[in-house]
Amino acid sequence: MVEDLCRRNQATARSDVPDELFGLYAELIDREMPEELARDLVDRVRVATPRHELANTEGLRSRVARLVEGEIAVAPPIQVTPGRCRVAALIGPTGVGKTTTIAKLAANFRLREKWNVGLITVDTYRIAAVEQLRTYAEIIDLPMQVVSTPREMREAVDHMSQLDLILVD
């Protein structure tokens, strides 16, 4: 029964995706891309690619990569204005590296740029998240606050307003 279901599922996927692009589609699915997004990308590549280039697997991968890159918004570099506190927050799903990235940014801005940096975390759900950031804060010698409500966030930002930069995890 499972084999039959897999065959039907593969037949359905195959019917929506041209044979020349099915390998690319399967690769995207294997990399845990949602099926709808994988189909959309493959369809956009199909429309934009001349028929004689559909056999060029590397070229197709490059086109998909450029499409994905075009969908990702990138913030400009963090700039600090003397006398004005800047707040920057990293947001995203669990496990993508926000806390580690904030620690690296904090270390860079504190140690290389000599900015006064503070840390605020709202990640009170992930096990050991607060302790991880607190350890980084102690190593780099930065103030850190843990908040769990909007009111606490306002108070923490007000408390650190004399700093050059506040990084929020």
The series of mean pLDDT values per 10 residues for the chain, 169 residues long, is: 60 62 90 89 89 86 90 86 92 86 94 94 82 92 95 97 96
CA distances to 3, 32, 35, 75, 91 from 6, in Å: 5, 17, 15, 42, 36
Q: For residue 132, give the nearest of 86, 156, 101, 164 by alpha carbon.
A: 101
Q: Is 71 exposed, middle or buried (0-12, 13-18, 19+ CB in 10 A)?
A: exposed
Residues 129, 99 contacting (CB under 8 angstroms):
yes
Predicted pLDDT of residue 14: 45
Predicted pLDDT of residue 148: 92
Predicted pLDDT of residue 11: 46
pTM over the 0.75 mark? no
Other beta carbons less than 10 A from residue 2's beta carbon: 6
Predicted pLDDT of residue 13: 46
Predicted pLDDT of residue 4: 59
Buried b (16+ CB within 10 A) or exposed e, 15-44: eebeebbeebbbbbeeeebeeeebbebbee
Cα(54)–Cα(64) distance, integer angstroms: 13
Predicted pLDDT of residue 1: 64
Predicted pLDDT of residue 7: 56
